[in-house]
C-alpha cells in the first residue's frame, strides 16, 4: 500500500473518532414539580445544584426544588456536621440516601436535607488565623468616665503543632483620674499526640496597677484533651503544674508552685452568632485554699464577612489579697472585632 493511501486512511479513522458520540449521562434528578432531568451532577454549593446535560449548557437549580437525585458515578458529599464521604448516591425512602464509599464496602444512610455540598472545591484550611478588637465607652455629666480596651489574638496550626498568643489591655479614666489599667499577655504551645490528646506549655503575664501587681507571671507544662471538635461545638480540658511569681507594688513578692486547670468551650449557634468561654484556675500547692481564677465569656455576632460585634465579660478573682484590694475584678466590654 502506498504511503499516501496509508496517510489518507489514518486521517479518516482519526476524524471519525472525533465525532464518536460521548458516553451518555446517567445521573437522574427528580424535581418537586415531578419533572425529571437526566445529566451529570457537577456540584452542589451554597444551595445551588449544577447539572451538565448533553442537550444544553449547565443547568443551575435551587436545592429546595429538588425532591431526590441519583448518581451513577462517585461524588464527594459533605454534611452539616462536617462529615465528608465519597461514593454513589442512591435514594432509599423518606428523604434518606444510601451511599457506598469508594474506600470500603460499607454503606452509609444520610438525609438529603443535611447535605450541604457535593463535589465542592476543597478549601485549604488557613494555618494562621486571628482577630483584632477595640472598644470603648465615654460618660459625661455628673461623672466623666472614659474606658478603652483593645487587643488581639492569633493561632497557628500545623500538622501536630499549635501556637496561640493573646494580648489585651483595659484602661479607665474617671474624673481625670486613672481608675483601671489592666494588661494581659498569654501564649501557649500545643503538641498533639493524636486527635484527642496533646501536651502543652503555657505562659501568662498580667500587670494590674490597681490589683497591687507590677507583674504576675505563670508558666508551666500540662496535658490537654479534646472532648468535642466539630463545626458546631468545641470543648478542650487541660491540667498541669505552673510556676507562679508575683512582683507586688507593696508587700512581699512571692514565688510558688500551683496547679493549672483550664477549660475552653466554643459553640456556634448560627452562621452569624457564636459563644466562647475560657476558664483558668490556679490552686496553690503550698497554701491550701488559696487560688486565682479568671473566666472570659464572649458572645459575637457577625456584621460583615470579617467584622463582628463582641460582648464579653471578664472575671478576675484572687481570694488572697491585701485588705485594701478587692478580691474580684469584673469587666463588661463591647468591642468591634476584625477576623483574619
pLDDT tens-place string over residues 299-313: 999 998 889 999 999
pLDDT tens-place string over residues 99-135: 766 555 567 777 878 888 888 776 556 688 899 999 9
Task: Give the Cα separation of 92 and 70 in Å (integer).
Answer: 10
Task: Give the Cα separation of 42 and 46 in Å (integer).
Answer: 14
DSSP H or E segment with residue 278: strand 273-283
DSSP H or E segment with residue 8: helix 3-18
CB 208, CB 181: distance < 8 Å: yes
Q: What is the pLDDT at residue 20? A: 43
CB 68, CB 90: distance < 8 Å: no
CB 100, CB 70: distance < 8 Å: no
Topology of domain 128-339, CATH: Porin (2.40.160)
Largest CA distance in the chain: 112
Task: Give the Cα separation of 139 and 73 in Å (integer).
Answer: 65
Residue ranges per domain, the chain? 24-118, 128-339
**What average pLDDT does the chain have?**
84
Q: What is the pLDDT at residue 319? A: 83
CB 183, CB 176: distance < 8 Å: no
Q: Report the half-sphere exposure of 228 (CA within 13 A, side-chain side).
A: 14
The lowest-confidence range among 178-182, 214-218, 290-294 is 178-182
Q: What is the pLDDT at residue 275? A: 96
Task: Give the Cα separation of 200 and 118 in Å (integer).
Answer: 38
pLDDT tens-place string over residues 6-38: 545 555 544 544 444 444 558 888 888 888 888
Which pTM does this prediction carry? 0.63
CB 238, CB 222: distance < 8 Å: yes
Exposed, middle or buried, 146 (CB in 10 Å: 0-12/13-18/19+)? Answer: middle
Q: Domain 24-118: state its class.
A: mainly beta
Grid coordinates belonging to 118: 457535593
Exposed, middle or buried, 181 (CB in 10 Å: 0-12/13-18/19+)? Answer: middle
Task: Give the Cα separation of 68 and 90 in Å (integer).
Answer: 9
pLDDT tens-place string over residues 61-71: 888 888 888 88
Q: What percent of the chain has pLDDT over 70?
A: 87
Task: Give the Cα separation of 205 and 187 in Å (integer).
Answer: 9
Residue 330 has pLDDT above 80, yes or no: yes
Amino acid at each position: 500500500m502506498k504511503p499516501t493511501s496509508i496517510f489518507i486512511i489514518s486521517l479518516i479513522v482519526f476524524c471519525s473518532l472525533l465525532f464518536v458520540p460521548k458516553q451518555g449521562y446517567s445521573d437522574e434528578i427528580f424535581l418537586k414539580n415531578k419533572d425529571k432531568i437526566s445529566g451529570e451532577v457537577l456540584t452542589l454549593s451554597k444551595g445551588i445544584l449544577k447539572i451538565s446535560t448533553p442537550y444544553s449548557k449547565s443547568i443551575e437549580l435551587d436545592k429546595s426544588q429538588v425532591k431526590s437525585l441519583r448518581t451513577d458515578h462517585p461524588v464527594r458529599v459533605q454534611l452539616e456536621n462536617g462529615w465528608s464521604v465519597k461514593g454513589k448516591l442512591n435514594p432509599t425512602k423518606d428523604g434518606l440516601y444510601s451511599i457506598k464509599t469508594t474506600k470500603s464496602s460499607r454503606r452509609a444512610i444520610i438525609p438529603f436535607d443535611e447535605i450541604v455540598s457535593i463535589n465542592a472545591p476543597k478549601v485549604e484550611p488557613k494555618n494562621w488565623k486571628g482577630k483584632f478588637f477595640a472598644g470603648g465607652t465615654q460618660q459625661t455629666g455628673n461623672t466623666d468616665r472614659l474606658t478603652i480596651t483593645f487587643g488581639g489574638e492569633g493561632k497557628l496550626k500545623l500538622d501536630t503543632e499549635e501556637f496561640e498568643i493573646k494580648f489585651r489591655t483595659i484602661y479607665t479614666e474617671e474624673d481625670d483620674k486613672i481608675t483601671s489599667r489592666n494588661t494581659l499577655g498569654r501564649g501557649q504551645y500545643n503538641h498533639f499526640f493524636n486527635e484527642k490528646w496533646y501536651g502543652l506549655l503555657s505562659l501568662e503575664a498580667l500587670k494590674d496597677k490597681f490589683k497591687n501587681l507590677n507583674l504576675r507571671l505563670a508558666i508551666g507544662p500540662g496535658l490537654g484533651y479534646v472532648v468535642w471538635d466539630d463545626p458546631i461545638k468545641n470543648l478542650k480540658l487541660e491540667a498541669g503544674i505552673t510556676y507562679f511569681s508575683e512582683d507586688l507594688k507593696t508587700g512581699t513578692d512571692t514565688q510558688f508552685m500551683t496547679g493549672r486547670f483550664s477549660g475552653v468551650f466554643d459553640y456556634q449557634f448560627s452562621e452569624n452568632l457564636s459563644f466562647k468561654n475560657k476558664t483558668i484556675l490556679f490552686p496553690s500547692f503550698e497554701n491550701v485554699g488559696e487560688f486565682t481564677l479568671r473566666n472570659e465569656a464572649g458572645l459575637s455576632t457577625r456584621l460583615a464577612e470579617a467584622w463582628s460585634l463582641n460582648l464579653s465579660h471578664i472575671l478576675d478573682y484572687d481570694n488572697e489579697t491585701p485588705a485594701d484590694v478587692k478580691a474580684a475584678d469584673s469587666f463588661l466590654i463591647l468591642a468591634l472585632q476584625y477576623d483574619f
